[in-house]
Each structure stands twice: as structure tokens, then as C-alpha cells.
């Protein structure tokens, strides 16, 4: 009879130094994972919640004197955007189409088509706003006349302050497609 021998290695007992190093590394990994999760979560939460939390104040920009605009006309006006930063330079300028309906009533439309954001132009003879990119057409009140635009032209608030016409330059929520 042959005697069976058990060749399995005896269990090793980890030294206290090894256990403390392992425990330290486990805690370090946990802390670093938590820091990484927070670092990624804060910007994501800020992005998701920014439309709810951040309300940019409306800034009124002068676009000219009341007498500069004739009743019944549509005029392109330029002004400084409300969301500019010090290093924006010339890119902080934007514009609108300003229509004067009466002595005291003005309406301002965004320059961009609600289909894909192409700039619209005013065709005075036809009394229409035209988008050259995909044939979008808007009536003079900004409503859609033809083509692919799904929504009317966005409007800016307009007021008369003394002898100046001012446009409220709060960010517009332009709905597209």
C-alpha cells in the first residue's frame, strides 16, 4: 500500500504589515473613486440644472433713436449680446430685425431661422423674411409662411426709453426642428 500524501501548500498567514498596507490601499481606492465621482457629477448636474437655476437678467441695449425708424419699415439693427465675455471682441455683436408698426410700437425678431439657425433676410418688396438655406419663408409678423421652419421667428422685448429704442437682450430659446 502506498501512502497518500497531501501536497497542497499550507495556507500562508499574511503579515500584519501586509494587511495594513492592503487596508490602506483599499481605503485610498475608495477615497479616490469618491473624488472622481464627485468631480464628474458636479459639472453634469450643473449642465442639467442650469436652465432651471441660472436666469440671465435681461439687459436693455439701445439700437437707435425713435426718429431713426420710419413707421411701416423693417430695419436690421445691431447690438451687444447679453452673454458676452471680456475676450469675445467683435463676436459679441448680434442683431435683430426691428419693425416699427406705429409711433410707439416696435417688434424685434431674431435673425436666425428656427429650422437650422441660418440667418434670415428681409425682402421689403415681398414683405417676407426669407431663409436662403432651405427656403424657409416667414410673414412680416414672424409667423411661418412656407418651407421647413417649425416655429415662428423668436422675438425680443422692445421698449422706448426717452428718445431711444431699446431691445431686451436676454438669451432667446430658439426652438429648432
Q: How far apart are CA 130 and CA 50, in angstroms?
A: 33
**pLDDT 10s digits, 58-94:** 788 888 999 889 998 898 998 877 665 566 555 667 8
- pLDDT at residue 176, as a whole number: 46
Instruction: Reply yes or no on whether the pLDDT at 52 is more than 80.
Output: no
Q: Identify the H or E element spanning 58.
A: none
- Where does the pLDDT of residue 44 fall: very low under 50, low under 70, confident under 90, or very high at 90 and above? confident
Q: Residues of the chain with pLDDT > 70: what percent?
A: 74
Predicted local confidence at residue 35, as pLDDT? 94
Q: Mean pLDDT throughout 99-123?
A: 89
Task: Return the C-alpha cell found at 138.
Answer: 416667414
Predicted pLDDT at 171:
59
Q: Percent of the chain at pLDDT above 90?
A: 23
pLDDT score at 58: 76
Q: Is the pLDDT of residue 110 over 90?
A: no
C-alpha cell at 16: 500584519
Burial 105-119 (b: 16+ CB within 10 A, else e): ebbbbbbbbbbeebe
Contact 120, 131 (CB under 8 A): yes
Confidence of residue 43 (pLDDT cuts 50, 70, 90): confident
pLDDT digits (tens, 9 = 90+) for 4-30: 555 666 666 666 666 688 888 888 999
Mean pLDDT, rounded, for 40-66 = 77
The Cα–Cα gap between 40 and 21 comes to: 28
Pairing of strands 121-123, 106-110: unpaired
pTM of the complete model: 0.61
Phi-psi region of 72 (alpha: psi -120 to 50; beta: other; left: phi over 0): left
Residue corresponding to grid cell 430659446: 173
Report domain extents, the chain.
Answer: 14-54, 60-168
pLDDT at position 177 is 47
Candidates 1.20.1560.10, 3.30.1130.10, 2.102.10.10, 3.20.20.70; CATH matching 60-168: 2.102.10.10
Of residues 176 and 135, more confidence is placed in 135
Angle at 20 between CA 18 and CA 24, to 5 degrees: 115
Mean pLDDT of 33-51: 84
Amino acid at each position: 500500500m502506498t501512502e497518500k500524501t497531501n501536497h497542497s501548500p499550507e495556507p500562508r498567514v499574511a503579515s500584519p504589515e501586509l494587511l495594513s498596507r492592503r487596508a490602506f490601499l483599499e481605503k485610498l481606492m475608495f477615497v479616490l473613486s469618491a473624488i472622481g465621482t464627485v468631480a464628474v457629477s458636479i459639472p453634469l448636474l450643473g449642465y442639467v440644472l442650469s436652465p432651471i437655476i441660472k436666469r440671465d437678467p435681461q439687459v436693455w441695449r439701445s439700437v437707435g433713436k425713435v426718429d431713426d425708424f420710419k413707421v411701416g419699415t423693417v430695419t436690421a439693427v445691431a447690438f451687444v449680446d447679453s452673454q458676452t465675455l471680456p475676450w469675445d471682441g467683435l463676436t459679441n455683436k448680434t442683431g435683430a430685425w426691428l419693425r416699427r408698426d406705429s409711433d410707439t410700437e416696435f417688434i424685434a425678431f431674431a435673425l436666425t431661422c428656427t429650422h437650422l439657425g441660418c440667418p434670415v433676410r428681409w425682402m421689403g418688396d415681398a414683405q417676407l423674411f426669407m431663409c436662403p438655406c432651405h427656403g424657409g419663408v416667414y410673414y412680416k409678423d414672424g409667423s411661418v409662411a412656407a418651407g421647413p421652419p417649425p416655429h415662428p421667428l423668436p422675438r425680443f422685448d422692445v421698449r422706448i426709453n426717452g428718445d431711444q429704442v431699446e431691445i431686451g437682450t436676454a438669451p432667446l430659446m430658439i426652438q429648432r426642428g
